Structure 1
Amino acid sequence: MKKLLLYRRGGLGDTLLTFPILEIFKGQGFHITTVGNTDYFEIAKEVGWADRVLSEMPKEDFDKRIIIGTDGIDPFPNERVWVLEYYLKILGLPSHYSQTLPLDADPNSPFRGKVVLHPSSGSPKKNPPIELFFEIENFLTGLGYQCVYLVGEADQWLKAHVKNFVEMYQPLQIAKALKSALFFVGNDSGLSHLSAYLDLPTFIFYGPTDPVVWKPIGKSVFQISLNLRCSPCFPNTCQERVCFDVKALFERFLNYFRGMSL
């Protein structure tokens, strides 16, 4: 059997955007080894797109190596294109891949039938004021929805602001739990990428980051941005943060929400 190695270090969203590469090569009969954050690549192993998940490079030969990093494919395209399409073009791969992670839902999920709110990310620069999520929570609660905040590894600060939260840290566990949620509201973060890939209706707020380059995989993604002339600017963000105007973003959320069929 042919052997392939894929190397990609980075956040959860960065890693998920390599999964179609794994799926395509798995369909071609490759035995696949991944090197990177093992917690993230365990999801690929769970769905059958990776056979071995490592944190360090193995000392062995492979029929094909895909290195996404300083010694291989630049992780960031030089032009404003979706990073997944950029990878597929460089590798000469077709754009035929699953839009949904084939994971089974956790039957005991604390998110079952609820709206999951996640107002955090790996960088505070990507987070709008938490008041935006309070507005959304109040609006949805008034319509009869149950809302719960997800507190992940980088979100401990949230516990000082909300009481209705669930703590969960393992990405595979989170994925199985999210599968039975009603929908998800978050920022440009790995957990938003994960939610979208699970075919959960997912609302994502973009401020200084680029919704074109960092679009998640998924069929029910609502990318919300004010599309200002000064955006995207990450990581060189301004202090004014006009791209995170709470009133304007809430109105755009309402427009998308009212057009969504649940």
Structure 2
Amino acid sequence: MKKILFYRRGGLGDTLLTFPVLEVLKKQGYRIAVIGVKAYYRLAQKVGWVDEIYEDLYPQVLNRPYDLKIFFSKNGGIYPFPDKRIWIVDYYFRYLKLPQIYSQTLPIEGLKESPFKNRIILHPGSGSPKKIPEFLLFRKIEEFLKKKGMDYIYVVGEADQWVKDLTSNFWEIEDLEFLAKAFKTARGFIGLDSGISHLASYVGIKTFVFFGPTDYIVWHPIGPNLQIITLDLECSPCFPKVCAESPCLDPEKLFLQFLKKADL
């Protein structure tokens, strides 16, 4: 069997955006070893798109015989970012000259007993505070959901512990595979540009993602039921050089944009 070594280090969202490439390579008959965050790539392993996972560039791994090595890195290999505003997944496929025939939904089954069943999931956090608007945005969303008679719950990750000070209605993330399966049972998801939002969209549920200073054209999630909400200001995108005023994260204006698309 042909063997590939694949490297693209990054956060959860960055990792999920490589899954279509791994899926297509697996369909071509490769045995695939990846180097990256094990907790993230285990999802690809679970659905059969990855065979081996390594956390680091171990010499004993790098020196094995491979038919192909694919390295997305600033320090050699393929530059990990496109030089123009195209979706990162399209960039990967064009560079590697692969057929773009892949799953729009992560093929993972939902849980029978899920903390999110028929509920709206709210996630007001992100890996960078520069992407986070005032919590007022989610207070307004709470009011909207209550008026609609919809049950909701917040999810809290490692970087979102501050949410616990603002609500007692939350579920804390412990295991990504459990989270993905639990998300499948939800009525919908509302969040920011974060890895958790990428996961929600990829499992196929209705997903609303607020983009401010980051580029939604390049970094939007995979998924058939994704709605992107952005003010689309002339000064955006600007990440990571974000201005102090952050008009692209105005909670009042973002909420009004959400109301235009809130077909929950």
**Structure 1 length normalisation: TM-score?**
0.97
- Residues 181-196 of structure 1 aligned to structure 2 (within 5 Å): 181-196=186-201
C-alpha distance in 2, partners of 1:197/1:135? 26
- CA shift for structure 1 position 246: 1.4
Q: Quote the RMSD (CA, aligned, Å).
A: 0.9
Q: Are residue 50 (structure 1) and residue 50 (structure 2) matched?
A: yes
C-alpha distance in 2, partners of 1:239/1:17? 30
Q: Which amino acid aligns with 2:32?
A: I
Runs of 4 or more above 2 Å deviation: none
- CA shift for structure 1 position 128: 1.2
C-alpha distance in 2, partners of 1:63/1:107? 41
- Any idea what SS the aligned residue of 1:80 has? coil
The aligned counterpart of 1:143 is 148
- Any idea what SS the aligned residue of 2:90 has? helix
* Structure 2: gaps (5+ residues): none
Q: Which amino acid aligns with 1:72?
A: G
C-alpha distance in 2, partners of 1:139/1:215? 25
The aligned counterpart of 2:237 is 232
- CA shift for structure 1 position 142: 1.6
Q: Are residue 8 (structure 1) and residue 8 (structure 2) matched?
A: yes
Q: Which amino acid aligns with 1:27?
A: K
- Any idea what SS the aligned residue of 1:212 has? helix
Q: Which amino acid aligns with 1:69?
A: S
- CA shift for structure 1 position 170: 2.2
- CA shift for structure 1 position 217: 0.7
Q: 1:98 aligns with which of 103, 115, 121?
A: 103
Q: Are residue 63 (structure 1) and residue 43 (structure 2) matched?
A: no
- CA shift for structure 1 position 27: 0.4
- Any idea what SS the aligned residue of 1:66 has? strand
Q: Which amino acid aligns with 1:176?
A: K
C-alpha distance in 1, partners of 2:91/2:248? 26
- CA shift for structure 1 position 169: 2.8
The aligned counterpart of 1:35 is 35
- CA shift for structure 1 position 124: 0.5
C-alpha distance in 2, partners of 1:107/1:34? 31
- CA shift for structure 1 position 154: 1.1
Q: 2:212 aligns with which of 194, 207, 230?
A: 207
C-alpha distance in 2, partners of 1:169/1:186? 18
Between 57-66 and 115-124, the greater mean CA deviation after superposition: 57-66
Q: Which amino acid aligns with 2:90?
A: E
- CA shift for structure 1 position 175: 0.8
- CA shift for structure 1 position 140: 0.5
**Paired residues, number:** 259
